[in-house]
Amino acid sequence: MPTPPGKKKRSKDKYAQRESSTLSVRGVRDSARSVTKFSELYGGGETGRLLAGPHNNDRKIERLLQRRHKKSVARGIGPDGVYRYGDHEWKVPGGVRQCLKKSLIWGQVVNQYPWAVVWSGNDGRRKRKLFATAGGAVHFIATQAQYHDRHAAIVSRVVGYDIPIQYVNRIPRPWRWCPYCMTARRFRRHKDNLKFSAERKEWSNEKNRYVWRSRTLAVLVCERCGCTNKDPRMRRSNQPWEKRVIKQGVRRVRRRRS
């Protein structure tokens, strides 16, 4: 057909590019709008508990999950650190409160159940329940688990957290910081008496300071979550910390040698 006067003929290539880009944007929007439950976002991986492929590159979904995490943590926990729901109360450990204030990493975003609650039942057996949000885990402990086991704990299944600065050098032995329980725990020797080699910070009387030395260490296991001292976060959180005073105006500091 002849082109009407005053109108330019549109090339097929440009029209096809424009149509394909419009469809891709619509696909992202429609996928976000069609989701009515958080469980519908997952279904990937062998277990089906990872974020589905169509949502991996969707920043809106990531922001939505980050917002859900912040709301679930802040809901119900008062300024005194006590979670209240009706007649139920549970004192949330200080380390747990400090760690849960941080944003989720990508490994927690793609995992459907990045949190768990561990407690001992009336029969003495260790039980475990998975949760999608940290707030749901806190609510379960406050309303159910604490009545069966007063030592019920929330556990991070994906990533360990370093010790908060306010607890550095303040945890008495035999307690140690557990990066996955996010609080102080007792660590026991492995039942098979396993050992491994690692560097440990020790005091040197000759240099009058701490130095790093290679040692053979016994494997220690957390009695709640199963974390061991092979984890680098556990070792650096429980090592001696030092304060180094730097004079005003100094821009370069000489690095200490072991």
Q: Mean pLDDT over residues 100-118, rounded? A: 92
pLDDT above 70 for 6: no
The whole-model pTM stands at 0.78
Closest by Cα among 74, 154, 67 to 119: 154
CA angle 163, 202, 98 (to 5 degrees): 5
Average pLDDT of the residues of the chain: 83
pLDDT tens for residues 17-26?
333 333 333 3
Least confident of 17-31, 101-115, 216-230: 17-31
pLDDT above 60 for 76: yes
pLDDT tens for residues 59-69?
888 898 999 99
Output the pLDDT for position 171: 93
Radius of gyration of the chain from Cα atoms? Answer: 26
Distance CA 110, CA 113 (A): 9
Output the pLDDT for position 121: 85
Of residues 133 and 49, more confidence is placed in 133
Output the pLDDT for position 131: 95
Token readout for 183 is 């609080």
pLDDT above 60 for 9: no
Contact 110, 56 (CB under 8 A): yes
Contact 152, 185 (CB under 8 A): no
Residues β-bridged to residue 51? 42
Output the pLDDT for position 16: 39
Residues β-bridged to residue 154? 117
Q: Mean pLDDT over residues 44-68, rounded? A: 83
Give the contacts of 168 (CB within 8 A, at least 6 positions apart): 241
Least confident of 12-21, 87-96, 114-123, 153-162: 12-21
Output the pLDDT for position 61: 87
Contact 217, 197 (CB under 8 A): yes
